[in-house]
Amino acid sequence: MPANRFNPPSAGYCLFSLAPGFSQVIANARMSANRFNGFIFAGCLEKHCLVIKASLSMSSHSYSRRWLHLVWTTLGREAMLTKPAAIEASRFLAEYSVEGGIYMKINYFNPEHVHALIDLPTNKTIEEVTQLFKGTSSHWINENRLLRGRFGWGRGYGAFSVSHSDVGRVAAYIAEQEEHHRKTSFSEEFELFVKKYGLEWHED
């Protein structure tokens, strides 16, 4: 089956897919579409469906929706992640997010940086979630020897709020990272984000 075409599963299936090249992405029937640049989850592994549903539930008297666009880089912004490593790391982060009760709409691993769109849980801070993602994924990459030599993420991160009405646009932007970076460098992209949100850009 071509990478950019597949038949959507029946209701109740969970499907997560590789970001570039996929025209359709289906998730649990009660959830919106999800994409990751690593894999397809089909057949609705029950533990994943149940955990995702649980992560979206809360007190009947409390409501929360805090979309965040997270960005972080490799150490020294070096293009360390090969395509196979990026695919595996993307899959791992998606699974880890589910298990941790963090709803991740999409993630994309570029050679030197990562994008992720999440709904921040009420019981976690931005700092906690980002450090969990970075620390756990770098440990997993090294433990599984996906790359030659030692891998590490750089200091800091970007965390940008996203309005609910803008989630689809931001998700599409993340899904099209490969095409986007044929024209724009990461430094240019990140500087634009920082300035757009009224923050002071630092070259380092």
Of 133, 43, 30, 149, the closest CA to residue 89 belongs to 133
Specify the pLDDT at position 140: 97
- Could you tell me if residue 149 is inside a domain? yes
Please indicate, yes or no, if residue 66 is contained in any of the structural domains. yes
CATH of the domain at 132: 3.30.70.1290
In a domain, 45, yes or no: no
Partnered with residue 17 across adjacent β-strands are: 35
In a domain, 33, yes or no: no
Identify whether the C-beta of residue 23 lies closer than 8 Å to the C-beta of residue 5. yes
CA distance 2 to 141: 28
In a domain, 202, yes or no: no
Which residues of the chain have a pLDDT value below 50?
A: 1-57
Q: Which amino acid, residue 187?
A: S
Measured at the CA of 54, the angle between CA 130 and CA 175, to 5 degrees, comes to: 50
- Within-domain flag for 49: no
Domain that holds residue 128: 61-196
User: pLDDT for 108-138, tens place per residue?
Assistant: 999 999 999 999 998 999 999 999 999 999 9
